[in-house]
Amino acid sequence: MINDTVIIKPINLDEWLPDRCLNGLEPFDPNSHIPESGCPSINYSHKNNRETLEKLYQLAINQYRGCGFVAWDNSKVIAYHSFFPVEIAQKIRFYGYGFDSTQPIRTLIHNCLTIVKGDYLRKGISSRLVKESIDWARINDWKRFEVHLVLPDCEKGWQSDQKSCLSFWERFGFRVFKEYDADKETERFYGVTKRYSMYLPLDDKY
């Protein structure tokens, strides 16, 4: 069973920096791959580069004691979930950066949830990562967890990195706090007309 060999660990820059989407079919071996230039979901005001990305993760780890979790299978990366405090998220303006967040105090913003395809899909690994992130947030006294640019349930949405659909987040207790019209590109590609911002109050139990 795949799940029997999967280990969930906090993001640790000494092991691997989440700087790419895991959209291939095979587990990712950090020891045999040249580092990427940086995550394309993070749109810096200057040229995006891995050094800047590493400083960002290091800041989150040093100042806030964490920024996400990685799923490993036999020393290879198969999935990860990353997040940032809202004050960092809004400064770097990465994908779904909390542009309409209304609670700036002790709020975490979802950054990326990505997994290799093939045999690892539909095994509950993404759910394990999100649960681990929520548990960590509660233990460390965060008050709110947000995810933005969420899609209505649609097949292309389920297959995409980062943009998990509405019912995925609802299963953990996330609630919609804003609904807005999808942009034309989203409407054309995903076939949806709405998007959502969702939140989880961390003093609740899922």
**Domain parsing of the chain, residue ranges:** 2-145
pLDDT in tens, 116-133: 888 888 889 999 999 999
Res. 84: pLDDT tops 60: yes
Q: What is the pLDDT of residue 177?
A: 94
| Topology of the domain comprising 2-145 | Aminopeptidase (3.40.630)
The percent of residues above 70 in pLDDT, for the chain, comes to 84
Choose between 187 and 157: higher pLDDT: 187
Q: How are beta strands 107-115 and 144-150 bridged, if at all? A: parallel
Q: What is the pLDDT of residue 206?
A: 47
Q: How confident is the model at residue 176 (pLDDT cuts 50, 70, 90)?
A: very high
Winning range, highest mean pLDDT, from 54-68, 81-95, 122-136, 192-206: 122-136
In Å, how far are 78, 79, 127, 138 from 6, measured between CA atoms?
9, 10, 13, 23
Q: What sign does the dihedral 8-168-61-22 (CA atoms) show? A: positive
Query: What H or E segment, with its residue span, contains residue 6?
Result: strand 6-10
pLDDT in tens, 28-73: 888 887 777 666 656 554 455 777 788 888 999 999 999 999 999 9
Q: d(Cα 194, Cα 119) in Å, to the nearest integer?
A: 31
Count of alpha carbons within 13 Å of 191, Cβ hemisphere only? 6
Q: Name all contacts of 100-105 with Cβ < 8 Å and 24+ positions apart.
A: 100/148, 100/178, 100/197, 101/146, 101/148, 101/197, 102/177, 103/143, 103/144, 103/146, 103/199, 105/143
Res. 156: pLDDT tops 70: yes
Q: Whole-structure pTM over 0.85, yes or no?
A: yes
Q: Which two tokens stand for residue 125?
A: 């690994």
Between 94-103, 106-115, 189-198, the lowest mean confidence (pLDDT) is in: 94-103
